[in-house]
């Protein structure tokens, strides 16, 4: 079945059989939908003649050109909020014997950890502090998510491999306490998204909130500078929602708060050092050229509300940008940018959820931000988001 959503003088089309999505004008939308419904070139051309009062030759040319163009513009909506690793979720013939059991809290959730790894609690507390969350959220109404940390033994002669198991599946794996804690915490974003059902949308984006609780969302593929820009805004008093993956509540058009340490890539260490001098002493993870440092955010600068999204802004750092350039985008281009950056829906896609996302984009500012200086960009974005 093909669904159509009117959107900013365009149409969003969804093929419910494949979950493919196209954003196009009315003519192109008709051609794509008729094609997906099984109509051939001749039938589509005749329908165009009847619907739009054009010649048959013109209609045939439009069919060929638009189908070729739309074939390159189909968005394959991603599923599976949680990435499952192809590793065992248990070891046959061996009993699971945790040496540490503790709980951490994020807004609305109690995270119960059972671990065979000694020392994991200390590492986990750096990421999800108990004291901050318990004061606000302890007790009533919290859902519980259980993570089991299993010793998988030696892998290819390397250090012991520790698996993170949730609901009978392996969701993360690492070699030391700090790495396991961070990867386990990262997996919580998708796990929490799953518990929200079809209402949740996971977006590859950084997000920060100003003092009024208005949220600026920065969707972008990796390497565009969204984390560096978010960290710069946080250093100037904004609060962090998340620096990489955002949980969007489509129906309420708000965000699900779940703040983790910012993952600062190697190329941004020097840029952020004046604002975060502790980066110099922070342990790096990964291989040379792809190393990151984890930068915890103080509790008072973590956003723990649902908030209102006021602005979508696609950032792009370019060394040759010659200053800061802010351009107002069409809502169509913003939706396409969000889908290209990476967007996860529960499958099959609930058309109403996509309608809510479209309405949210239509009601917010839509900007692109190209810059060569992150401090100047942060100042400009702060002014344009209000």
**Residue 139 pLDDT > 50, yes or no?**
no
Measured from the Cβ of residue 101, the count of other Cβ atoms closer than 10 Å reads 10
| Percent of the chain's residues with pLDDT above 70 | 90
Residue 351 CB burial class (10 angstroms; 0-12, 13-18, ≥19): middle
pLDDT for residue 337: 93
Domain 2-76: which topology?
Arc Repressor Mutant, subunit A (1.10.10)
For residues 228 and 267, what is the distance between their CA atoms, to the nearest angstrom? 10
CA dist 115 to 89, 118, 165, Å? 14, 7, 10
Q: What tens digit of pLDDT does each residue of 232-254 get?
A: 999 999 999 999 889 998 888 88
Bigger pLDDT: 69 or 99?
99
**Residue 208 pLDDT > 90, yes or no?**
yes
**Residue 384 pLDDT > 80, yes or no?**
no
**Residue 351 pLDDT > 70, yes or no?**
yes
Domain boundaries, the chain: 2-76, 100-195, 198-384
pLDDT for residue 274: 93
Highest mean pLDDT among 70-79, 91-100, 118-127, 222-231: 222-231
Q: Of 289, 286, 234, 288, which is closest to residue 262 (Cα–Cα)?
A: 234
């Amino acid at each position: 079945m093909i669904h159509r959503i009117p959107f900013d003088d365009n149409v969003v089309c969804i093929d419910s059989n494949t979950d493919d999505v196209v954003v196009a004008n009315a003519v192109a939308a008709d051609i794509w939908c008729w094609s997906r419904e099984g109509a051939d070139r001749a039938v589509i051309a005749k329908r165009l003649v009847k619907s739009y009062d054009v010649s048959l030759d013109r209609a045939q040319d439009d069919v060929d050109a638009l189908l070729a163009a739309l074939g390159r513009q189909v968005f394959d909506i991603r599923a599976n909020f949680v990435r499952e690793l192809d590793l065992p979720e248990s070891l046959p013939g061996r009993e699971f014997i945790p040496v540490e059991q503790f709980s951490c809290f994020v807004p609305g959730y109690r995270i119960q950890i059972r671990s065979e790894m000694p020392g994991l609690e200390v590492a986990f507390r750096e990421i999800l502090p108990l004291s901050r969350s318990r004061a606000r959220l302890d007790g009533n109404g919290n859902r519980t998510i259980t993570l089991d940390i299993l010793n998988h033994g030696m892998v290819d002669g390397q250090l012991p491999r520790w698996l993170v198991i949730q609901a009978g599946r392996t969701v993360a794996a690492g070699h030391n306490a700090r790495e396991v804690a961070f990867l386990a915490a990262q997996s919580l974003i998708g796990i929490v998204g799953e518990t929200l059902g079809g209402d949740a949308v996971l977006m590859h984006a950084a997000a920060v909130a100003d003092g009024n609780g208005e949220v600026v969302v920065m969707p972008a593929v990796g390497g565009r500078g969204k984390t560096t820009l978010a960290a710069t805004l946080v250093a100037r008093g904004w609060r962090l929602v998340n620096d990489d993956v955002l949980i969007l509540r489509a129906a309420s058009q708000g965000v699900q708060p779940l703040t983790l340490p910012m993952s600062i890539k190697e190329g941004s260490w020097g840029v952020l050092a004046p604002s975060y001098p502790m980066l110099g002493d922070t342990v790096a993870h990964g291989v040379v050229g792809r190393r990151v440092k984890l930068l915890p955010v103080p509790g008072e600068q973590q956003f723990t509300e649902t908030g209102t999204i006021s602005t979508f802004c696609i950032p792009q750092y370019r060394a040759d940008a010659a200053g800061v350039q802010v351009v107002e985008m069409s809502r169509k281009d913003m939706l396409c940018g969000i889908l290209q950056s990476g967007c996860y829906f529960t499958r099959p896609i609930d058309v109403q959820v996509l309608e809510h996302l479209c309405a949210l984009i239509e009601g917010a500012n839509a900007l692109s931000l190209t810059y060569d200086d992150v401090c100047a960009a942060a100042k400009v974005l702060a002014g344009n988001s209000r």
